[in-house]
């Protein structure tokens, strides 16, 4: 498994298609709903297998002076609990530290809260309910500096 950003136009196309398929399509959300206004300034990472297929993705962007936000974490359902998400999250945190970020916030789907807790994140409070059915929780982690 290799963790790196998508580079070519076709890799970005696959990256966004993966994001939509895992995070939006199951809730009948339209294509395009998997993107936001921070795409151009964000750090995009993906886990690739030896054949070049996507296993998982994640994104980091700066939201305040020393604080980043992780968004759009997604792992192929057949590869969950195999270290893919952890590897992506650790690399996003490494990039955040390199950029001088001191903390990361994220909004986790309820079923992913234990994953983030295992990786050092704390639940701050309930957040929004996505698509009227997916409870989210605001989470936080102080980065080593």
- Note the pLDDT tens digit of each residue in 71-91: 999 999 999 999 999 999 999
Helix (H, G, I), strand (E, B) or coil at 114: helix
pLDDT tens-digit profile of 82-129? 999 999 999 999 999 999 999 999 999 999 999 999 999 999 999 988
Q: How is residue 31 written in tokens?
A: 């294509």
Query: Phi then psi for 128, rounded to 5 degrees?
Result: -75, 170
DSSP helix/strand/coil, 112? helix
Going 10 to 74 to 117 to 40, the CA torsion angle's sign is: positive
Q: pLDDT per residue over 23-57, tens digit each?
A: 999 999 999 999 999 999 999 999 999 999 999 99
Q: What is the mean pLDDT of residues 13-17?
A: 97
Instruction: List the domains of the chain with CATH numbers.
Output: 2-105 (3.40.630.30)
Q: Which distant-in-sequence residues (6+ apart) come within 8 Å of 25 by Cβ? A: none
């Amino acid at each position: 498994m290799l963790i790196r950003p998508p580079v070519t136009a076709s890799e970005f196309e696959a990256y966004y298609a993966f994001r939509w398929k895992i995070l939006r399509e199951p809730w009948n959300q339209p294509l395009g709903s998997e993107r936001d206004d921070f795409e151009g300034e964000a750090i995009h990472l993906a886990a690739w297998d030896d054949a070049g297929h996507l296993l998982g993705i994640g994104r980091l962007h700066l939201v305040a002076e020393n604080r980043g936000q992780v968004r759009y974490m997604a792992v192929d359902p057949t590869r969950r609990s195999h270290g893919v998400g952890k590897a992506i999250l650790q690399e996003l945190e490494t990039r955040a530290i390199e950029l001088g970020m001191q903390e990361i916030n994220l909004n986790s789907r309820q079923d992913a809260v234990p994953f983030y807790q295992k990786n050092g994140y704390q639940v701050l409070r309930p957040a929004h309910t996505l698509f009227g059915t997916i409870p989210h929780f605001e989470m936080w982690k102080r980065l080593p500096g």
